[in-house]
Structure 1
Amino acid sequence: MNSRSLMLSVGARFVRVLTAARTRAGEFPGRNQTLSFLGPEPTGEAAATFHVREKRKLSARLREFFVYSPALGRTVGVRVLLPGRPSEVADVIYLFHGGGDDFRSWTDLGAAEQLTADSPYLVVMPDAGAASYSRHTIGGGERTETTLDWPTFHTAELPAFIADRYSVNSERSGALLAGLSMGGYGAMKYAAQHPDRYCAAAAFSSPLDPLSAVPLFDIIALREGGAAKSLFGDPKRDLAEWQANSPMSLAPNLAGTDLWFTAGSGTPHADDEDEDHVDVLEATVNQHGLKFHERLTALGIDHTWSPRATGLHNWFAWQRELAEWLAALDDPSRRGTSAAGGGLPGLRDEQPVAAGARGVHDGAAFTYVTGEPVFAVHGWDVAISRRRAQLVTFAEVTPASFTLNGAGTFRVRTPALYHPGQRYRIAISSPLAENVYDLAADADGRLELTGRMAGALHDPIVPGKRTRHFRTWGQDALTTVSITPLDSPEDATGADAAAGTGSGMGTGSRSGAEAFPGPVSAERSADGPSSAAADPSTSAPGPEPRRAR
């Protein structure tokens, strides 16, 4: 074990002792907001709806809300900074805090209000408890078991609340994520889990490879009041859960997202004049940034990695990094570095779009990696019935075909990419069976497909080295699904022919993308293709920011 891992492990042991004392007292850092003035938490019908319990005007631009979240089962705080340059519709930056901080930190300590004084963005700074940015079940035994669903609060409830209260751009091009330390981890993870919702993500001094920082994530779990390894389980036994929550594992999803991440070396900067030691935590996350940079480069994903020659894990660094990222967003030289048609916030009307460029919602190919058994991305709804967690790659997805890896059974509901009533031949090829059947698109132009994948993963009767292959058997097996329009109009039903929809895609003279001209009843989106062309050449890390392709 190297010195950095040893120090984190010692820190984790210390936090375990501290947590035991706090458990007896019923106190946890993630819950130490003073909310007694609000009275008891809502119950009954009130506890089933997201609502504002208290709001305050703290300055000309700064607003503070205390909101009840059904996903968390408790009241939390949110601060909102109005745009420094008001406009009719504003893009939104969701700015996340780190471990040990809360929703007040970016304005109280991070100078966010001053740094955004001339910014066109609405800045939303929500609470994140101890900062796991994950679903976390705590309690059990003598305590009531509670699940804190931070991702649902941050990516579903909060955006809906902001869109309802403010005039904001609700498209992908108007949603950006950023954060420091664990907040940057959350920003990158949410961007990877929802590539169709966020156009940009930034991480300042963040652990982007959880499997390389298990003690750090144990500390976060303990600070929230959970047990050690209660976040994602044991790294060996529950590897798929760790991968499902790792920006490193989900990196392929970030093609087409504007990425910026940075970290210091751990040696003091001129601003840190009272410090004379090496910051082990900052040096560790610097290595995470380097590994993430190498991973994105290998995948050919455009990004900015800006390592610092100096800098500790403190607010001096994060203020500088937030200021530089905001300046970079408005830098004309960065135009066109995201996926075609996506562009950078504030530059959408100035971005040239290549002739014939097609977005994902128009049928362009994309690949999506996830650990969730039920997910929705780019209008595709996928549900997988499985016995054990596994990392799933939903790959080369087009209106004509897609692939899935893993075991179990699947159900896929497509976007409205097909002609209502038109019949299609579905061919499913998996390790278990070859299945071919015909299916008509519904009135919205969607198809609902079901099929079998590899054999279900299961637990061996006698666990051990000799039977461990049973725990992963079938996980790498590939299932291929093809969707082909039937050639002749007479293959459509009489009702379909009467509606005049039976022959729209059945000429037999077109193939691939040409056979699927795009959605009939859905509005086309211009969020760009799922990946951008990339130049694999890179330069060695240095103190200056650079674009890596």
Structure 2
Amino acid sequence: MRRSILFAVGARAIRSLTAARSHRGRFPTLDQNSSFLGPEPRGKDARKWHIRDKRKLSNRLREFFIYSPALGRTVGVRVLLPGIPQEVSPVIHLYHGGGDDFRSWTDFGAAEELTLDSPYLVVMPDAGAGTYSRVAVGSAVHDWPTFHTKEIPEFLRKNYSVDFAPENQLLAGLSMGGYGAMKYAAWHPDRYSWAAAFSSPLDPLAAIPAFDIIAMREGAKSMTLFGDPVADRSEWIANSPYGLAENLQGLNLWLSAGSGSLEESKDRDLLESMVNQQGERFSARLNALGIRHSWFPRTTGLHNWTSWERELGAWLKTLRRQRDYASSDNRSAERRGANLDDRRGNSSDGRRGGPRVADGGEFSYLTGHALFDIHGWRVEISRRRAQIVCFGSVSTAGFSLTGTGSFRVRTPGLYEPGRRYDISVVGLTGTNDYPQRADKKGRLTFTGRLAAAMHDPIIPGKRTQHFTTVGQSEVTTVRIASAPDDSPPARPQRSSPRGADCRGASRPDASRPDAGRSD
């Protein structure tokens, strides 16, 4: 009964949004096709992304149609060249919302005009219905995150002169596009410096009907996007900016939403009211975690392009002020012979107040992925059930992981090539020690087991449903230390990696009461 009510409310909000945009016809995700390009690539041509068509629409605006192996089809991408020409350009990844497409920011959001005096190259890729997630549609899987975070950067690297340093990679979007921007930032905090969300749902567990409806618009079956909210809660958290908020420490975060009404009108925009409430909750969670951010709950504003054009302009002004301040501050520091990063406490990867993780400084990371790369560390986890992994207190001295299963870790090149290191794995079963020499790139690679887990039952039921979470809160600690009185051999020997235990599950409390405000 409760789920039916939630779906009814969510459907009403989506119908209101659809009606407001009816003058533009059907939803682009259902309307678009690439038939004018001929049949989709097959065989070898379908294994790599490639440009199938490109057009010059104005002095700055370019339009591409790219075949994506991650999506299994051709989709559109628009690119705005920098208004202020740069030898190497910073990049804004600008995402559209549900019901729009890659043309929308330039057709309806004045993106070309607003970025006229900007040094940023702006890339606006298509996102289908706007799930910004992996969507199963029949026998196919539309992997939008891989398209956006892997194939689009490869496309930019091949066709433009852009700067991929984290401080010059920015994410922004409206509605579901803001959800995608904030989620990708939480997934890859080592790759981006800014994330901005305009009128966006940032806690999927608090907007289940909306996410389900948007996935169904792309052709997915109901409740298949992240699974059942109870049985598959880990998957929902793994795709939730709210659930992974801890990863956003040190990034520049911008959130805004309208009130859902106009001063001269008594009508309420249900969708904007909902995302406004989500913005409040997300801001409260960031405050509880001590994460600085900018939250702008507008006193007026609907879920429409008038609001989003205003918000994009306001955000770009903030970027411009920060850039001007950084330039003047750098000049002053140079005159005084000071090191700006050391003086202001900025990190080497551009994150304010963060550790110098590139040099082995400490960091922590939450994820729901079984395979992930973060700050040069690669972690692979073999597991029977999805769970949230906490890769904690990571530094050259070791790390911790919570959860069950087995793991394989490859460190960055932070160690002395050829030198022997003692690796200790401390868990519930005791301590295991494994000596190993760093390879010629200064990396260590080792495997191990996490906390013991009960096997999945052959026939799931109420008596065995607890098996899925047993052990997920257990912590395994890995310590790495240089072996005493050891010097590197003339030729570093290749050693077969042995044990070290790594994996963790830290489940943010989605029911935490709201508290606090942004700074």
Is the shorter-chain TM-score for this pair beyond 0.5, marking a shared fold? yes
Cα 1:325–1:399 shift into 2, 3 Å: same
Cα 1:404–1:500 shift into 2, 3 Å: closer
Of 483, 498, 504 in structure 1, the residue corresponding to residue 490 of structure 2 is 498
Identify the residue that residue 9 of structure 2 maps to in structure 1.
Answer: 8
Q: Does 1:310 align with 2:310?
A: no
Q: Does 1:160 align with 2:154?
A: yes
Q: What is the CA distance between 1:36 and its match in structure 2?
A: 1.7
Q: What is the CA distance between 1:290 and its match in structure 2?
A: 0.8
How many residues were matched structurally? 471
Q: What is the CA distance between 1:334 and its match in structure 2?
A: 9.7
Give the match's secondary structure for 2:464: helix
Of 240, 262, 273 in structure 2, the residue corresponding to residue 268 of structure 1 is 262
Cα 1:167–1:474 shift into 2, 3 Å: same
User: For 2:432 and 2:248, how far apart are their aligned partners in 1?
Assistant: 33
Identify the residue that residue 518 of structure 1 maps to in structure 2.
Answer: none
Identify the residue that residue 510 of structure 2 maps to in structure 1.
Answer: none
User: For 1:164 and 1:333, how far apart are their aligned partners in 2?
Assistant: 26
Q: What is the CA distance between 1:3 and its match in structure 2?
A: 12
C-alpha offsets along residues 463-485 of structure 1, whole Å, 9 cap, x if unaligned?
44443322200110100000011
User: For 1:500 and 1:150, how far apart are their aligned partners in 2?
Assistant: 42
The 5 A counterparts of 1:371-450 are 371-450=368-447
User: For 1:137 and 1:351, how far apart are their aligned partners in 2?
Assistant: 50
Identify the residue that residue 135 of structure 1 maps to in structure 2.
Answer: 134
So what's the TM-score if we normalise by structure 2?
A: 0.86
Identify the residue that residue 72 of structure 2 maps to in structure 1.
Answer: 73
Cα 1:386–1:189 shift into 2, 3 Å: same
C-alpha offsets along residues 131-175 of structure 1, whole Å, 9 cap, x if unaligned?
110111111xxxxx0011101100011011112111111211111
Aligned-partner residue type, residue 148 of structure 1:
H
Cα 1:13–1:311 shift into 2, 3 Å: closer
Q: What is the CA distance between 1:8 and its match in structure 2?
A: 2.9
Identify the residue that residue 204 of structure 2 maps to in structure 1.
Answer: 210
Cα 1:367–1:86 shift into 2, 3 Å: same
Give the match's secondary structure for 2:341: coil
C-alpha offsets along residues 74-131 of structure 1, whole Å, 9 cap, x if unaligned?
0000001111111211100010000000000001111111111111111101000001
Cα 1:460–1:9 shift into 2, 3 Å: farther
Identify the residue that residue 61 of structure 1 maps to in structure 2.
Answer: 60
Aligned 8 A contact 1:432 1:453 in 2? no
Q: What is the CA distance between 1:230 and its match in structure 2?
A: 1.4
Identify the residue that residue 142 of structure 2 maps to in structure 1.
Answer: 148
Q: What is the CA distance between 1:500 and its match in structure 2?
A: 10
The 5 A counterparts of 1:282-297 are 282-297=272-287
Aligned-partner residue type, residue 228 of structure 2:
D
Cα 1:418–1:303 shift into 2, 3 Å: same
Aligned 8 A contact 2:404 2:453 in 1? yes
Q: What is the CA distance between 1:213 and its match in structure 2?
A: 0.4
Q: What is the CA distance between 1:34 and its match in structure 2?
A: 3.9
Identify the residue that residue 340 of structure 2 maps to in structure 1.
Answer: 352
Aligned 8 A contact 1:407 1:457 in 2? no
Cα 1:350–1:329 shift into 2, 3 Å: farther
User: For 1:152 and 1:302, how far apart are their aligned partners in 2?
Assistant: 28
Identify the residue that residue 96 of structure 1 maps to in structure 2.
Answer: 95
Q: Does 1:484 align with 2:516?
A: no
Cα 1:539–1:115 shift into 2, 3 Å: farther
Cα 1:381–1:6 shift into 2, 3 Å: closer
Identify the residue that residue 325 of structure 1 maps to in structure 2.
Answer: 315
Give the match's secondary structure for 1:101: coil
Q: What is the CA distance between 1:460 and its match in structure 2?
A: 3.4
User: For 1:385 and 1:70, how far apart are their aligned partners in 2?
Assistant: 26
User: For 2:455 and 2:206, how far apart are their aligned partners in 1?
Assistant: 28
Percent identical: 57
Unaligned runs of 5+ in 1: 16-26, 140-144, 342-348, 502-537, 542-546
Give the match's secondary structure for 1:353: helix
User: For 2:289 and 2:425, how far apart are their aligned partners in 1?
Assistant: 28
Give the match's secondary structure for 1:498: coil
Cα 1:398–1:98 shift into 2, 3 Å: same
Of 141, 152, 163 in structure 2, the residue corresponding to residue 169 of structure 1 is 163
Aligned 8 A contact 2:98 2:130 in 1? yes
Identify the residue that residue 23 of structure 2 maps to in structure 1.
Answer: none
Q: Does 1:247 align with 2:241?
A: yes
Cα 1:390–1:334 shift into 2, 3 Å: farther
User: For 1:14 and 1:282, how far apart are their aligned partners in 2?
Assistant: 13
Aligned 8 A contact 1:92 1:174 in 2? yes
Aligned-partner residue type, residue 253 of structure 2:
L
Q: What is the CA distance between 1:215 and its match in structure 2?
A: 0.2
User: For 2:266 and 2:403, how far apart are their aligned partners in 1?
Assistant: 51
Identify the residue that residue 370 of structure 1 maps to in structure 2.
Answer: 367
Identify the residue that residue 188 of structure 2 maps to in structure 1.
Answer: 194
Aligned 8 A contact 1:386 1:456 in 2? no
Aligned 8 A contact 1:374 1:383 in 2? yes
Give the match's secondary structure for 2:340: coil
Q: What is the CA distance between 1:35 and its match in structure 2?
A: 2.0
C-alpha offsets along residues 332-382 of structure 1, whole Å, 9 cap, x if unaligned?
49968xxxx9xxxxxxx9992116976101011000100000000000000
User: For 2:356 and 2:184, how far apart are their aligned partners in 1?
Assistant: 21
Aligned-partner residue type, residue 158 of structure 1:
I
User: For 2:172 and 2:229, how far apart are their aligned partners in 1?
Assistant: 27
Give the match's secondary structure for 1:354: helix
Q: What is the CA distance between 1:31 and its match in structure 2?
A: 4.0
User: For 1:455 and 1:106, how far apart are their aligned partners in 2?
Assistant: 50
Q: What is the CA distance between 1:497 and its match in structure 2?
A: 3.6
Identify the residue that residue 108 of structure 2 maps to in structure 1.
Answer: 109
User: For 2:281 and 2:74, how far apart are their aligned partners in 1?
Assistant: 37
- After the TM superposition, which of the residue ranges 164-173 and 477-486 deviates more from structure 2? 164-173
